[in-house]
Amino acid sequence: MKKFEGYMRGINLGGWLSQCAEYSEKHYSSFITESDIKTISEWGLDHVRLPIDYNVIEDEDGLPLGNGYKHIDDCVEWCEKYGLNLILDLHKTKGFSFNNNPEDNVMFDSPELQERFTSLWINIASRYGKRSNIAFELLNEIVEKDSSRWNALVSKTISEIRTFAPDTKIIIGGIQWNSVHTLALLDIPEDKNIVYNFHFYEPFIFTHQLAPWQPLLVDKTIRYPGNMEEYRKVSKEISCFGSGLYNTETMGAGFMEKLIAEAVEAAANANVPLYCGEYGVIDRAEISDTAIWFEDIHSVFEKYDIARAAWTYKGIDFGISGEHYSQQISRIIQSL
């Protein structure tokens, strides 16, 4: 399988220009600074993935916001200074959000909003398309159930981007929240600079335990690797989050490898590199278990030459630079 050279070991900058505690200049100017990029470089990583919400860089009429783009420019400059590559990930666009609220997801029923999505990418590509250290990720975690509508929008948008960025790597994920199970539904690309993307948070019962935004898990705790029967029991109790639990008899790297095999096969069939744009463990899990989880997923990534970016550097419940992770931070960094 092809390798995504220059993007093999990275981390997300979630919560800075996307999923913000507050969308304000005060937040943008302080949440991530040059010193953070320097730290990431010193960890030995080769890139950062920068999630961006559309409202940071364009107004409600779709006009560019210079102040928003300035923060992307700062990140570009810092990454160049410290030898890091950069992925610009459109995390949210007008009429679409991965949270799956019906009122937030009308783009695929609206030609006008699809046109606005493409126009936003034209703006981004015209600004950054000539930079060799930048890749583009079209849209985060598609919740659409119809792969044909996503494939059509991908094809149109890539065609427009190529006018301004003929050689830039473009990252696309499958439907149903970048599931490993849906990469095979993507159209085989004719473009030689496409990368397939999936996200991995399995076993979800472990990585999202006690998450306040997950009502089924808000009072659930579980150890890793623990006992597979316990995972099956909890999954059955809540009638959810059982993906892959019957593929193997023990929890661990073998469980992960069985699930990820679908993504590996899809990328190999399409002759494209494979990228895991998000993976991580909530800061409510036992930290020693979290370190083991990172070591296990790292072993699978290394076995199949899968590029990746951990979720996330700072804050928003998964930030590995936070106090919760401090006792195991060196071990975790080695497993990124």
Catalytic positions: 141, 278
Q: How many CB atoms lie within 10 A of CB 268?
A: 14
In contact, 200 and 180? CB cutoff 8 Å = yes
Tokens in use for 217? 């898990």
Distance CA 323, CA 334 (A): 18
Other beta carbons less than 10 A from residue 237's beta carbon? 10
Residue 168 CA to residue 134 CA, distance in Å, equals: 7
Q: Taking every pair of C-alpha atoms in the chain, what is the biggest distance, in angstroms? A: 54
Rg (CA), the chain: 19
Residues 6+ apart with CB under 8 A from 30: none
Instruction: Note the Cα 33 to chain centre separation in Å.
Output: 21
**Where does residue 178 fall: left (phi above 0), alpha (psi -120 to 50 degrees), or beta otherwise?**
left
DSSP state of 125: H
